[in-house]
């Protein structure tokens, strides 16, 4: 059957219709506010970014941010104020802004005049008011449509600046969408770390930083550093560096004040530069992975007209520090090779502690790799075994070229679940690794000892399958997906795997590679329709929708889902929950309590918090 394609099929959407129809293009995922990368925080950040630009220009040293229980956000800065005659254009005319010409905003994050319009279009209520030279003007919108405006009036008692208030449209976001004030506070703290001298007042409490990235690193460090953090700054660059006892690498990277949570060219340049600089300083060819093992660092650079890989600006794509200027790689390398080298010469005690850490990491790596003939033979035997446990895919992920971004490894429990996924998967890009029983609790174990013990073979096979023995850069799959049953045993296995990755390969999480597979808990169907439900609330809604006692199936294990059905849940409509380490200042204490050798404490906690059915009635 031929489908007609005529002039009637061509549509033109105005700016607000397009944003509301495709919000993901502008703010990433919508979400309910339970994750720090949900769209609510992107909207809030778009507004605050404009106020930060005013501070950078030398006006408005204080920003007021308030969020009430109803979800209304208000941001008031004391900058120059939007020119009153252009207030509507700045709020509701796409690609309109004050950052296109001149020197003022060459190193600004938001250059395309879209951000504030996205906030307007995706808000139930959006109000913007500018104060300028004793005059003011205010406009109110609902879902991006102007509903109330005002002429220019006198405001002699109000200082210059801009006030924006908005409440997200819950017909687009989740019905219970709400801001997590911990996430908002962290956002505000980061703004202050990157802009020393700025004060952000969040719901009546002042946040300020006096030492920039040094304050950030001290705040984020979960344990005492091996040496006092190194703090270096220059034109358009600032870094803070130290090492801890953890195994992985931890970075906080920023471009023009934007927190690039997914890194980018500047973070890659920093990782390369720190290795080359220290190799040169120590005059030894230490492995880069040994130099960076346990590193905790923050880097902030300023780039003229930065290019990001998405509208949400979480990853820098620019290669040069400015059009026609040196590369970011050269800029960062030159800075570190000069300033870090000088610092270490002036502080020999730091240099000594740093090299000791590198040597310790080198020793651990060699122990894990198994340099003796006996361990090498055992490794070869394990490699053969792990190929039987791994149903591999045809292509693999390359972190440097970003080839095969859609590659996935599903970590399953038992043959039944792995059989269903293996039959349903796309063998081109989806691999399956089958666990035999529960893996060991790896909490508190030295990495070398972990892989030597027989009882830990499952975890050894797994990290061999992932190919992360030497470096996370060698990872074979872009998404590592824990796919365990929705029961107590499945949850326990999930926690054991999370403990393993958090302790030994935290960068797998920090770089956005680890996920939890969400599969339906219920199938509700009648003769006409089948609905898969991921919660009891969805199940109840499906029952009401189908009516007349539909058949309800509770999936206790993944093996109970047929391969034909499984294809729906690991294909285009796959539901993945990303594992993050946000707000994990006390992560070690949490792991120690839940996974450590303190059975009595946990038993008492369960007794103290036990609820029986009568309590819940």
Q: Specify the pLDDT at position 5.
A: 47
DSSP letter for 35, please.
Answer: S
Q: Which residues of the chain form CATH 3.30.230.10?
A: 213-367
Mean pLDDT by 10 residues, the chain (617 residues): 53 74 81 83 91 89 94 95 90 65 54 74 94 94 90 88 94 86 92 94 95 91 87 94 85 88 89 95 93 92 83 79 89 95 96 94 77 48 60 84 82 80 90 85 73 70 82 87 85 88 84 88 91 87 89 83 83 84 59 68 68 48
Q: What is the pLDDT of residue 309?
A: 77
In sequence order, what E strands does 452-569 have? 479-483, 514-518, 522-525, 530-533, 551-554
Closest CA to 225 of 148, 278, 273, 295: 295
**pTM value?**
0.71
Instruction: Tell me the torsion sign for CA atoms 72, 73, 79, 82.
Output: negative
| pLDDT score for 615 | 46
Could you give the residue ranges of the DSSP H alpha helices within 4-76? 15-21, 24-27, 39-56
Per-residue confidence (pLDDT) for residue 402, from 0 to 100? 63
Q: Give residue 613's pLDDT.
A: 47
- The Cα-based distances of 2 to 7, 196, 245, 408 in angstroms read 16, 64, 65, 37
Give the pLDDT score at 614: 46
Q: Give 458-462's long-range contacts (Cβ < 8 A, gap of 24+).
A: 459/500, 460/382, 461/382, 461/385, 461/386, 461/389, 461/390, 461/433, 462/411, 462/433, 462/435, 462/500
Q: Looking at residue 589, what is its pLDDT?
A: 64
Region(s) of the chain under CATH 3.30.565.10: 16-208
- Token pair 């460090």 is found at 221
By DSSP bridging, strand 479-483 and strand 408-413 are parallel
Q: State the Cα–Cα distance between residues 88 and 135, nearest whole angstrom.
A: 16
Using the CB atoms, write b or e for 257-274: b if 16+ within 10 Å: bbbbbbbbbbbbbbbbbb
CATH of region 16-208: 3.30.565.10
Contacts of 82 (CB under 8 A, 6+ apart): 90, 98, 128, 130, 132, 162
Scanning 6-38, the segments in alpha helix (DSSP H) are 15-21, 24-27
Q: Where in the chain is the domain with CATH 3.40.50.670?
A: 370-519+564-609
Are 463 and 497 within 8 A, CB to CB?
no
Number of Cβ within a 10 Å radius of residue 437: 10
CA distance linking residue 386 with residue 464, whole number of Å: 8
DSSP letter, residue 264: B
| Residue whose C-alpha is closest to residue 31's, from 192, 180, 217 | 180
What CATH number is given for 370-519+564-609 in this structure?
A: 3.40.50.670
C-alpha count within 13 angstroms, C-beta hemisphere, residue 166: 31
Closest CA to 410 of 566, 542, 560, 187: 566
Question: What does the alpha-carbon distance between residue 330 and residue 237 come to, in Å, rounded to a whole number?
Answer: 13
d(CA 369, CA 376): 8
Asked if residues 151 and 173 have their Cβ atoms less than 8 Å apart, the reply is no
Into which CATH architecture does domain 213-367 fall? 2-Layer Sandwich (3.30)
Position 140 scores a pLDDT of 95
For residue 159, the 8-state DSSP code is: P
Residue 473, pLDDT score: 80
């Amino acid at each position: 059957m031929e489908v007609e394609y005529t002039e009637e099929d061509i549509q033109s959407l105005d700016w607000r219709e397009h944003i509301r129809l495709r919000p993901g293009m502008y703010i990433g995922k919508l979400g309910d506010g339970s994750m720090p990368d949900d769209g609510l925080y992107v909207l809030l950040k778009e507004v605050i970014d404009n106020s930060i630009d005013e501070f950078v220009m030398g006006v408005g040293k204080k920003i007021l941010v308030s969020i009430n229980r109803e979800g209304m956000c208000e941001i008031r800065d004391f900058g120059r104020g939007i020119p009153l005659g252009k207030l509507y254009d700045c709020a509701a005319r796409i690609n309109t802004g004050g950052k296109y010409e001149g020197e003022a905003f060459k190193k600004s994050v938001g250059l395309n005049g879209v951000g504030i319009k996205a906030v307007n279009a995706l808000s139930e209520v959006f109000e913007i008011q500018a104060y300028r030279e004793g005059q003011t003007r205010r406009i109110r919108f609902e879902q991006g449509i102007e509903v109330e405006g005002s002429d220019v009036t006198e405001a002699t008692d109000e200082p210059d600046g801009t006030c924006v208030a908005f409440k997200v449209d819950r017909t687009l976001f989740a019905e219970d969408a709400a801001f997590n004030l911990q996430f908002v506070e962290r956002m505000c703290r980061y703004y202050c770390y990157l802009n020393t001298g700025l004060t952000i007042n969040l719901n009546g409490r002042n946040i300020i930083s006096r030492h920039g990235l040094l304050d950030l690193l001290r705040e984020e460090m979960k344990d005492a550093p091996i040496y006092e953090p190194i703090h270096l700054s220059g034109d358009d660059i600032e870094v803070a560096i130290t090492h801890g006892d953890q195994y992985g690498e931890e970075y906080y990277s920023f471009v023009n004040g934007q927190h690039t949570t997914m890194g980018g060219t500047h973070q890659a340049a920093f990782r390369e530069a720190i290795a080359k600089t220290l190799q040169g300083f120590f005059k030894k060819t230490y492995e880069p992975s040994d130099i960076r093992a346990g590193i905790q660092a923050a880097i902030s650079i300023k780039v003229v007209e930065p290019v990001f890989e998405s509208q949400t600006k979480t990853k820098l794509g620019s290669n040069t520090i400015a059009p026609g200027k040196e590369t970011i790689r050269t800029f960062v390398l030159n800075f570190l090779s000069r300033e870090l080298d000088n610092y270490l010469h002036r502080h020999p005690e730091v240099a000594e502690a740093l090299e000791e850490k590198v040597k310790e990491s080198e020793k651990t790596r060699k122990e894990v790799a198994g340099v003796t003939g006996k361990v090498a033979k055992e490794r070869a035997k394990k490699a053969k075994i792990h190929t039987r446990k791994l149903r591999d895919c045809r292509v693999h992920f390359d972190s440097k070229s970003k080839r095969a971004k859609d590659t996935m490894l599903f970590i399953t429990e038992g043959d039944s679940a792995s059989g269903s996924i293996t039959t349903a998967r796309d063998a081109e890009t989806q691999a399956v690794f089958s666990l035999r029983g529960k893996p060991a609790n790896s909490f508190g174990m030295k990495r070398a000892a972990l892989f030597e013990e027989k009882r830990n073979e499952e975890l050894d096979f797994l990290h061999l399958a992932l190919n992360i023995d030497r470096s996370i850069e060698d990872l074979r799959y872009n998404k590592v997906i824990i796919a365990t049953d929705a029961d107590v045993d499945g949850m326990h296995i999930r926690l054991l795997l999370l403990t393993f990755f958090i302790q030994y390969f935290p960068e797998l999480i920090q770089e956005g590679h680890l996920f939890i597979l969400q599969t339906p808990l219920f199938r509700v169907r009648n003769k006409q329709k089948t609905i898969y439900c991921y919660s009891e609330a969805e199940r109840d809604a499906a029952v009401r929708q189908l009516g007349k006692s539909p058949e309800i199936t509770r999936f206790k294990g993944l093996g109970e889902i047929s391969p034909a059905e499984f294809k729906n849940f690991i294909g285009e409509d796959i539901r993945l929950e990303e594992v993050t380490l946000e707000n994990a200042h006390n992560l070690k204490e949490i792991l120690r309590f839940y996974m450590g050798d303190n059975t009595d404490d946990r038993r008492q906690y369960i007794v103290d918090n036990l609820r029986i059915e009568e309590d819940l009635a």
